[in-house]
Every structure is written in C-alpha cells, then in structure tokens.
Amino acid sequence: MALVQLKELEEKLSATRAATICALAQLLDLKDLQTGCHSTRLAEWAVRVARELGVDEALVSSRPYRKGLPLDEAVRRLLQASGTQFDPDVVHRFSFSS
C-alpha cells in the first residue's frame, strides 16, 4: 500500500514539475523585447526555479535508470541545447558548483 502511495506522490511531483516548467517557458515567451531588464529578471527567476526543482542535481546525480553525468558533460549538454531546448539567457546565467 505504501509503495502505491509513493508512486502516486512521485507522479504528482512529476506533473507539478512539468507544469512549472511549462509555465516558466510561457513566461519567457512573454519577454518584452524593448526592455532588457525584464528579460534579465525572467532569466534570473528561471535559474532560481530550476535550482529549486533540482535541475543541476538531476543532471549530475546517478539514478536507478542511468549514471549521473560528469559536471563538464552536463554543462556541455546545456550549452549545446542552448537556444533550442533551453533559453540562452537562462543557460548563460546558470552556474554549477562541483
């Protein structure tokens, strides 16, 4: 019974993370191109949300289904996906601590 409840909680957490990331992406799409300050604030907020969600840890930590990435590989992948999967302003401001 407890295992079923744990699985349900994990699914809810995953759905909440996905919804948060979707909302964040929508906010970034609303950037005012005339004011760099607005874009900067949104990028900084995105980094804070990503850290709270554990994005940095998720990339470098081992999971039951895969081995964690070395820090330099995680950074390389973020930079490679900058501009396609990730907002370049957010990637530029995101820093990893080893």
Q: What percent of the chain has pLDDT over 90?
A: 1
Dihedral of the alpha carbons of 88, 73, 19, 2, in degrees to the nearest 10: -170
Cα dihedral 10, 12, 14, 20 sign? negative
What's the whole-number mean pLDDT along residues 79-95?
A: 80
Checking phi first, is residue 89 left (phi over 0); if not, alpha (psi -120 to 50) or beta?
alpha
User: Is the pTM value of this prediction over 0.75?
Assistant: no
pLDDT digits (tens, 9 = 90+) for 13-42: 888 887 887 777 677 666 555 655 666 777
Neighbour count for residue 54 (Cβ, 10 Å): 11
